[in-house]
Structure 1
Amino acid sequence: MKAVLLSLVLVLVCATQETPAEIDPSQIKGEWRTIYAAADNKEKIVEGGPLRCHYRQIECTNGCEYLSLTFYVKVDGTCQLFHKEAKRQEGDVYIIEFAGTNVLQLIHASENMLVTYIENDDGEKITKITKGVAKGDSFTQEEFQKYQELNSEKGIPNENIENIIKTGKAPEDSRYPK
């Protein structure tokens, strides 16, 4: 009887666990702006860090076998534009080479918000990173709470969140005063 009860409890626990919905990368194409970034190794995403990327454009190519990413990174004090392609792998992850090898996964998408999860291997250490990007200039309070939840799920401390949009603007972005 105890085994039957234990089995029933296990089935109920498994049934109530949320299965993450697959995100169709073709639905996330367009202009995006990095609002927040967080990492378990914060030095990678602070001002001047090698992975403090300011996303600008994401496109699917070849039936979403590739994600084409356009972003800015400040290198030696100068904001530089990069165009990189991430190749899709089994399990809906993408591989991109930039400041090491990066395994990128789309972990949340809505009409105005996209969150990516990246594991960066620089040859010495693996760093877990999330990027919260938006169609606009900010997140709503609910979107920010969702971003914090996703960081917690990935083991990234929320105190390591950097507000990217407040601290850096790409030179071509006409929405901001020069």
Structure 2
Amino acid sequence: MKAVFLTLLLGLVFAVQEAPARPEASEITGEWYTIYMAADNKEKIEEGGPLRTYFRRLECIDNCEKLSITVFLTNYDSCTLITAVAQLAEGNVYRIHFMGESSLQLIRVSESMLVFDAENFDGEKITKATYALGKGDSLSQEDIQKYEEMNNERGIPNENIENGAQTDNCPK
């Protein structure tokens, strides 16, 4: 009887820990800016790194089956604007060919914050990266704390967080 109860209890615990629900199109589409970025391989997001990305716009296409992503890529003092389209795969994970093969997920944290959670495979190594996106150039202390917790859960140390709002010198 105890074994049956424990099995039921464990089943409930795992059911509650599902992946976050995919945000609605109205919650995604619009202007978003990189406030913070972090990666388990920090050199990928440092100045001149291939994943140092400054977001400008997200847009749902075909009921969010596709996601248009407009960003600036930087290489020291130059900004290159690109738009790429990710395709929804299983669950609420999108796939895109960007600096290698990437899978990504959007997580709505609050009214003013989305987390862009990505894994990038450059042909040699997988890099976990997150981007805290906001509508302005700052986040609430509560949102920052949630972002740090999300990074810790993904194995990204807080010392690997870069302040994108302070280093973004690309056109708005």
Tell me the TM-score normalized by structure 1.
0.86
Q: 1:93 to 1:12 in 2, by over 3 A?
A: closer
| Residue in 2 that maps onto 1:176 | none
Q: 1:7 to 1:71 in 2, by over 3 A?
A: closer
Q: 1:124 to 1:111 in 2, by over 3 A?
A: same
Q: 1:159 to 1:18 in 2, by over 3 A?
A: same
| Residue in 2 that maps onto 1:38 | 38
Q: How many residues align?
A: 171
Q: Secondary structure at the match of 2:82?
A: strand
Task: Give the CA deviation at 1:3.
Answer: 3.3
Matches within 5 A, 1:65-144: 65-75=65-75, 77-144=77-144
| Residue in 2 that maps onto 1:22 | 21
Query: Once superposed, what is the RMSD of the aligned Cα atoms?
Result: 2.0
CA distance in 2, matches of 1:5, 1:104: 36
CA distance in 1, matches of 2:119, 2:34: 17
Structure 1, unmatched stretches of 5+, are 174-178
Letter of the structure 1 residue corresponding to residue 71 of structure 2: F
Task: Give the CA deviation at 1:6.
Answer: 4.1
Task: Give the CA deviation at 1:76.
Answer: 6.1
Task: Give the CA deviation at 1:168.
Answer: 2.2
- Bigger CA radius of gyration: 1
Letter of the structure 2 residue corresponding to residue 83 of structure 1: T
Task: Give the CA deviation at 1:9.
Answer: 5.4
CA distance in 2, matches of 1:77, 1:137: 20
Task: Give the CA deviation at 1:75.
Answer: 3.1
Tell me the TM-score normalized by structure 2.
0.89
Task: Give the CA deviation at 1:7.
Answer: 4.3
Q: Secondary structure at the match of 2:145?
A: helix
| Residue in 2 that maps onto 1:57 | 57
CA distance in 2, matches of 1:12, 1:68: 36
